[in-house]
Amino acid sequence: MSGSPLPSERGALSRPLLSTLRYGTPLPAPDGLEEADPYGDDLQLTLYTLYELHYRGFAEVNDEREWDPGLLALRRSLELRFLHALRIDVPDDHDAGAALDALREEPPARDGTGVSHYLQRDGELWQFREYAALRSLYHLKEADPHVWVVPRLHGRAKAAMVAVEYDEFGAGREEAVHARLFADLMADLGLRTEYGHYLDAAPAQALATVNLMSLLGLHRALRGALVGHFAAVETTSSPRSRRLAAALRRMGAGRAARRFFDEHAAADAAHAQVVRHEVVGGLLEDEPDLEPDVAFGVRATGHLEDRLAAHLLAAWRERRSALRVPLAAA
């Protein structure tokens, strides 16, 4: 057994699951699943907890629970509810190229009101620290969800995907692994760097962005959507990283904090082209029927990022924390 501590419950779905994982008691039938908000705290935390069994697990949970049939059945029920909501809320789009072209205009931030724009222009260090704490739920396992697609690709799509992932994992150098660089950023900002440390502080909007990657990565049937997600991340990363690096310089952050975004601003500009032309292009050359799925992955990523941005900016403009619990308490 390894991993971080189990999180605190958030409702009728997460309560029995966490009791089952902590004490080994039987898992009861889910209560209130049909009424649960697919984007809400309870469902998203429950789903995140179940997904984490496929990553590093939890300190109190036996590793064998990863493939517990009852837990897998619960996970599937939650996934279907989450995926159904995304299918309703994300525009039906069969043109992956158009979906990716739209990202160059940065639709969530065309008017300069995105999170990175705000942090660069008006943000304060306490707000950036909250942003880093929330993003740590993904960045401390950066690239891991996307690796699941590698055995489901072949030809030039696989070769290009592995090449980009090789850079994400430090090109063979442990000190250059992007998850390590983010941990260094967090340390420079005075944050805790333990994997999963800020899970209890993260609102549902942040959990959903990570859950989407796990959902797409764990299902071969959604491999096209995972490639679309990966393409969306790489396409938007470079300009966003430049703004966040500029924000940290304005705030007087140290070199380790700036390095993470400087590295992404440079590397992801090249990655975006490789992913667009070789990974997406290679996949659709081999399996053209997956184009709607690729477009869905792109659009779903933007939809959930928009929800997170709205939550963060609404709180920060009122000069209140966007976290469920203050950083000090976390």
Sites in the chain below the pLDDT cut of 50: 1, 107-110
- Domain end residue (candidates: 88, 107, 131): 88
Which residues does residue 4 pair with via DSSP β-bridges, in sequence order?
58
Cβ–Cβ < 8 Å for 327, 134: no
pTM over 0.85: yes
Please list the alpha-helical segments (H only) found in the chain: 14-23, 41-52, 69-89, 96-103, 115-121, 125-139, 144-147, 155-168, 178-188, 204-217, 223-251, 255-274, 281-286, 291-317
User: Within 13 Å of residue 257, how many CA atoms lie on the same side as its CB?
Assistant: 23
| Residue 231 within any structural domain of the chain | yes
Report pLDDT digits (tens) over 195-208.
999 999 999 999 99
Same domain, residue pair 155 and 235: yes
| Residue 327 within any structural domain of the chain | no
pLDDT of residue 266: 79
- Domain end residue (candidates: 51, 69, 88): 88
pLDDT of residue 30: 87
Same domain, residue pair 192 and 49: no
Which residues does residue 58 pair with via DSSP β-bridges, in sequence order?
4
- Domain end residue (candidates: 40, 61, 88): 88
pLDDT of residue 106: 54
What's 205's domain CATH number? 1.20.910.10
DSSP per residue, 137-158? HHHTTTTHHHHTTGGG--HHHH
Same domain, residue pair 193 and 72: no
| Residue 68 within any structural domain of the chain | yes
Same domain, residue pair 111 and 61: no
Same domain, residue pair 56 and 193: no
Cα separation, 307 vs 249, in Å, equals 27
Task: Count up the domains in the chain and report the number.
Answer: 2
pLDDT of residue 109: 42
Residue 82's domain comprises: 14-88
Report pLDDT digits (tens) over 24-64.
888 998 888 889 999 999 999 999 999 999 999 999 999 99
Same domain, residue pair 144 and 233: yes
Cα separation, 239 vs 268, in Å, equals 9
Cβ–Cβ < 8 Å for 277, 96: no
Same domain, residue pair 263 and 129: yes
Instruction: Provide the 10 A C-beta neighbour count for residue 2.
Output: 10
| Residue 140 within any structural domain of the chain | yes
Same domain, residue pair 132 and 226: yes
pLDDT of residue 47: 98
pLDDT of residue 110: 47
| Residue 174 within any structural domain of the chain | yes
pLDDT of residue 304: 98
Report pLDDT digits (tens) over 97-113.
999 888 876 544 445 57
Same domain, residue pair 126 and 264: yes
pLDDT of residue 32: 84
| Residue 9 within any structural domain of the chain | no
Same domain, residue pair 149 and 184: yes
Same domain, residue pair 100 and 65: no
The residue type found at 212 is: L
pLDDT of residue 108: 46
| Residue 325 within any structural domain of the chain | no
Same domain, residue pair 81 and 100: no
Cα separation, 132 vs 149, in Å, equals 27
| Residue 146 within any structural domain of the chain | yes
pLDDT of residue 289: 97
Task: Output the CA torsion 3→217→244→234 (10° steps).
Answer: 150
